C-alpha cells in the first residue's frame, strides 16, 4: 500500500490566516524550522493507479497539484482519485469535497456524518455521487484494501446542533493491504484513548494519530482558552505515554498552529522520539 501525507495541520493550516502567534509569524517570515503546513489529509492506494482520500481538506486543490500521483490523465477528464473516507463531519475535513464536484466520486462516512455533512447537498447539484456508511469492514481498490472502522466519540460539528446523538460521529480507520499485510491506522481526532483502541492499533505498520495540541493549555496565550480537552483532541503529552513500543511507526498529525512541535527545533520533539514516535511532515510517502 502506498501512502502520501498530503497535509498535517489542523484547521486553518500553518500559518493560520488570522493568527499572529510566534509560530505563525516564524512561518510567514520563512523560518526553515517552521515550514508551512497544509491542512490534514492523506491519500492511499494499493497499486498507485486508484487513490482514496482520508478526509478532504480545504487545501485539497493545492495538495493535488503538488502530488504527481494524483495528477489527472491519461484522458482529459480522467483522475486517479476514486473516493474519500471521512472520519467526521467537521468542515476542516469535508470542505475539500466541494472542490471535486466536477467528477464522479464514492464517499464513505460514519452514518451520522452521511446525514449531516454540510457539503453533501451542495455537491448533489453537480454530480450524483455514491455515499456509503463506514461501519464494520469494507473493501477498496478492487478488493485490495480492507478498511475497518473504530468509533471514537460522539462529538458533533457546531453546525449539526439539531442532529441526534451517536457514538460514531468521529471514527478511526485501519486500512490493510491484503497482499502485503501492511496496515495504516488513521485517527486525526482522538478525544480520549477509548477501550479497544489498543487492540485496533495493535500490529499496525503505521499509525497517524491526533497531534493537535502538545499540552492541554497551549491556546491560553492566543485565545484565552485554558483547556483544549473539550475540543475533542487528546494532547500529545497524554497520548504519548499510551503508545506501545514495537514495530508500529507512530506519527503525530493534525497539528494546530499553536503546537510547539510544528517547529523542527522544538525540544519536545526529542521527548516524542524517545517514546518511539515522530511528527508527521507534509509530503511524506510510505510503502506498507
- Tell me the pLDDT tens digit for each residue of 28-81: 999 999 999 999 999 999 999 999 999 999 999 999 999 999 999 999 989 999
Banded model confidence at residue 213, pLDDT cuts 50, 70, 90: very high
Residue 96 backbone zone (phi > 0: left; psi -120 to 50: alpha; other: beta): alpha
**Domain span including residue 221:** 2-287
Q: What is the DSSP string of 193-253?
A: --TTHHHHHTT-SEEEEE-S-SSTTGGGGTT-----GGGT---HHHHGGGPPPSS-EEEEE
Output the pLDDT for position 224: 56
DSSP three-state, residue 281? coil
Output the pLDDT for position 232: 82
CATH code for position 12: 3.60.15.10
Mean pLDDT of the chain: 94
Residue with cell 483502541: 197
Task: Output the pTM of the full model.
Answer: 0.96
> Are 10 and 38 in contact, with CB atoms under 8 Å apart?
no
The mean pLDDT of 146-173, rounded to a whole number, is: 95
DSSP three-state, residue 122? helix
Give how far Cα 232 sits from Cα of 46, 113, 165, 229, 280, Å: 31, 16, 15, 6, 20
Output the pLDDT for position 229: 66
Question: CA-to-CA distance for 132 and 121, rounded, in angstroms?
Answer: 15
- pLDDT tens-digit series, residues 232-276: 899 999 999 999 988 899 999 999 999 999 999 999 999 999 999
The mean pLDDT of 18-26, rounded to a whole number, is: 95
Q: Work out how many domains the chain is built from and give that number.
A: 1
Amino acid at each position: 500500500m502506498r501512502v502520501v501525507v498530503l497535509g498535517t495541520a489542523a484547521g486553518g493550516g500553518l500559518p493560520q490566516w488570522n493568527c499572529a502567534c510566534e509560530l505563525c509569524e516564524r512561518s510567514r517570515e520563512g523560518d526553515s524550522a517552521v515550514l508551512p503546513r497544509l491542512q490534514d489529509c492523506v491519500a492511499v492506494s494499493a497499486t498507485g493507479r486508484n487513490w482514496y482520500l482520508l478526509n478532504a481538506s480545504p487545501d485539497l486543490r493545492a495538495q493535488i497539484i503538488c502530488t504527481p500521483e494524483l495528477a489527472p490523465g491519461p484522458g482529459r477528464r480522467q483522475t486517479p482519485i476514486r473516493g474519500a473516507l471521512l472520519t467526521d463531519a467537521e468542515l476542516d475535513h469535508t470542505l475539500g469535497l466541494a472542490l471535486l464536484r466536477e467528477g464522479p466520486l464514492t464517499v464513505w462516512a460514519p452514518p451520522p456524518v452521511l446525514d449531516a455533512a454540510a457539503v453533501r447537498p451542495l455537491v448533489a447539484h453537480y454530480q450524483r455521487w455514491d455515499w456509503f456508511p463506514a461501519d464494520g469492514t469494507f473493501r477498496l481498490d478492487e478488493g485490495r484494501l480492507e478498511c475497518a472502522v473504530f468509533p471514537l466519540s460522539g462529538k458533533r460539528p457546531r453546525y449539526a446542533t439539531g442532529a441526534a446523538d451517536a457514538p460514531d460521529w468521529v471514527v478511526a480507520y485501519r486500512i490493510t493491504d491484503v497482499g502485503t499485510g501492511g496496515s495504516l491506522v488513521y485517527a486525526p481526532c482522538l478525544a480520549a484513548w477509548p477501550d479497544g483502541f489498543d487492540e485496533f492499533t495493535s500490529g499496525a505498520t503505521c499509525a497517524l494519530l491526533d497531534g493537535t495540541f502538545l499540552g492541554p493549555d497551549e491556546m491560553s496565550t492566543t485565545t484565552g482558552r485554558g483547556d483544549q480537552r473539550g475540543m475533542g483532541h487528546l494532547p500529545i503529552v497524554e497520548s504519548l505515554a499510551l503508545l506501545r513500543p514495537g514495530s508500529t511507526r507512530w506519527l503525530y498529525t493534525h497539528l494546530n498552529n499553536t503546537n510547539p512541535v510544528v517547529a523542527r527545533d522544538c525540544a519536545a520533539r526529542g521527548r516524542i522520539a524517545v517514546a518511539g514516535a515522530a511528527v508527521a511532515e507534509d509530503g511524506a510517502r510510505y510503502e506498507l
